[in-house]
């Protein structure tokens, strides 16, 4: 009978360590979107439509990028072996006196 051994090498990165880069990516994307909206007001002609398209598409891209699956650590961690099970000695029964 083989037991499944769980290893911490497959553990995901901590939430606080993972949240900062995702938030940064989202804020950068939203900053670019804001620049597209402002530039679409100022720029005339066909570039305006490109900027409007960017302003419409960027929120979707930003949310998908921010919610992308959490990455696992590529560094190998310690291995875990199952605990050894020792057999207890047999009980000695002494007759009552």
C-beta separation of 33 from 51 below 8 A: no
pLDDT in tens, 65-87: 777 765 555 555 556 666 777 77
Residue 41 domain-assigned (yes or no): yes
pLDDT at 7 over 70: no
Residue 48 domain-assigned (yes or no): yes
Residue 50 domain-assigned (yes or no): yes
- C-alpha span between 24 and 21 (Å, rounded): 5
pLDDT at 48 over 90: yes
User: Rounded to the nearest 5°, which phi and psi values hold at 88?
Assistant: -75, 145
Would you give the DSSP letter of residue 35? H
pLDDT at 8 over 90: no
- C-alpha span between 17 and 22 (Å, rounded): 10
Residue 79 domain-assigned (yes or no): no
Residue 97 domain-assigned (yes or no): no
Residue 59 domain-assigned (yes or no): yes
45: region left, alpha or beta (phi > 0 left; psi from -120 to 50 alpha): left
- C-alpha span between 88 and 78 (Å, rounded): 30
Higher pLDDT residue, 69 or 62?
62
The total domain count for the chain is 1
Domain span at residue 37 reads: 25-70
């Amino acid at each position: 009978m083989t037991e499944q051994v769980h290893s911490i090498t497959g553990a995901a990165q901590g939430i606080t360590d993972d949240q900062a880069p995702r938030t940064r990516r989202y804020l950068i994307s939203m900053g670019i979107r804001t620049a597209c909206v402002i530039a679409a007001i100022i720029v005339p002609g066909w570039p305006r439509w490109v900027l409007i398209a960017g302003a419409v598409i960027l929120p979707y891209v930003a949310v998908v990028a921010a919610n992308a699956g959490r990455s696992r650590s590529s560094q190998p961690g310690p291995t875990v072996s199952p605990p050894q099970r020792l057999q207890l000695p047999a009980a000695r029964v002494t007759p009552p006196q």
